Amino acid sequence: MKGPYTGPFLASDATMNIKPLHPIFAAELRGADLREPPSAELVKTVEDAVDRYAVLVIRGQDIDDDQHIRFSRAFGPLELPPDLGISTVRRRLRRELYDASNLDAEGKLLDLNSTRRNYNRANEIFHTDSSFNDLPTKWSLLLAHVLPPEGGDTQFIDTRAVYDDLPPATKEKIENLVAEHFLYNEWSRGGFIEVTEEMRRRMPPVRHPLVRELPYGRRALYIGAHASHIVGWPVDQGRALLQELYGFATQEKYIYSHRWQQGDLVIWDNRSTMHRAAPFDDAMTHVRDLRRTTINESGPERASTDPVPA
């Protein structure tokens, strides 16, 4: 397995440096200022660091939505949040941003039983963003605007290390398997919502290989909350296999817990990690305002529920 990054781009640039945050993965990049348009050197540094560490933290970024979006677009076209057609609630944020907060459109704390609050609950299971759609999702970039006084960490797993450590017999068994991923998998199983035909039509289940080949020659286990069963297997058997893999992947040693500070931008590669919101303050008496961009490997910029351009 690759060790901490020691390549030349860091040595040759005295203004930026990288500090590992966990024995296996995750690092902090210091010396970047995202108020400025990103330089070619910064873009290369971040690309290489995310390939190496899968999770990259850039702290102290007092930036607005425009700057967040501009920085994100330097790495790929934005993936717009899908139009699920189920929310009667107005959006709080502009179309380019996923709202990971516990606030409604007026900026008030969400009602405990709101759909969005239940969506946040599903976020408390390890998942990879957008595995439920067929866009080639690359990274998520989550920026902390307002934080609760305590709790509200986000936890990450390096699914490359997980794959590497699987017993050989398991690797062989899953080599060519394909999982079905469905946005409403955990919501419907948890009894939080009923999935209507219209919801299924807008966001139908999609299929992804269980083992993901990464562009730089490693492999990762691709599972998580949205993976519902294995294609061609009886549903119960597939679910059992996914649960067994989930249990293996969520061992303590694979988890990096990020304790947020205001102005943290955390970038993760959805192809090589899982993450979840650590459950916190279930009564939600404190504001937690995090905003996310998501990018794809290739364009054009669209939501998975938009018509595919000709």
Nearest to 136 by CA among 307, 306, 301: 301
Q: What whole-number distance in Å separates Cα of residue 291 and Cα of residue 203?
A: 22
Nearest to Mn ion of 99, 129 (CB atom): 129
Choose between 42 and 54: whose C-beta lies nearer to ligand OGA: 54
Task: Return phi, psi of residue 278, to 5°.
Answer: -65, 130
Would you count residue 269 as binding Mn ion (CB under 5 A)? no
Residue 226 within binding range of ligand OGA, rule CB under 6 A:
no
Partner in contact with 154, chosen from Mn ion, ligand OGA, none, beta carbon below 5 to 8 Å by kind: ligand OGA
Find the binder of ligand OGA among 28, 79, 96, 129 (CB under 6 A). 129
Instruction: Using the minimum distance from each CB to Mn ion, give the nearer residue, 32 or 295.
Output: 295
* Out of 57, 110, 274, 277, the residue judged to bind ligand OGA by CB under 6 A: 277
290 binds, among Mn ion, ligand OGA, none (CB under 5 to 8 A by kind): ligand OGA
Q: How far apart are CA 296 and CA 299, in angstroms?
A: 7
Assess 100 for contact with ligand OGA (CB under 6 A).
yes
Q: Supply the minimum distance, in Å, between the C-beta of residue 273 and Mn ion.
A: 10
Closest CA to 230 of 250, 245, 215: 245
For residue 203, give the amino acid letter: M
Provide, rounded to whole angstroms, the least separation between the CB of residue 238 and ligand OGA: 24
**For ligand OGA, the closer CB: 117 or 171:** 117
Smallest distance, Å, CB 149 to Mn ion? Answer: 23
Tell me which amino acid residue 72 is.
S
Beta-strand relationship, 178-181 and 206-209: antiparallel
DSSP string covering 117-147: HHHHHHTTS-B-TTTTS-S-EEEEEEEEEE-
Residue 289 interacting with Mn ion (CB under 5 A): no
Q: Decide: is 208 part of the binding site for ligand OGA (CB under 6 A).
A: no
Pair of tokens at residue 176: 């060519």
Regarding 154 and contact with ligand OGA (CB under 6 A), the answer is yes
One of 129, 158, 264, 269 touching Mn ion (CB under 5 A): 129
Tell me if residue 296 falls in helix, strand or coil: strand
279: helix, strand or coil: coil
Secondary structure class of 253 (helix, strand, coil): helix
Q: Which two tokens stand for residue 202?
A: 């807008």
Residues of this chain that interact with Mn ion (CB under 5 A) are 129
Residues of this chain that interact with ligand OGA (CB under 6 A) are 100, 123, 129, 140, 142, 154, 275, 277, 290, 292
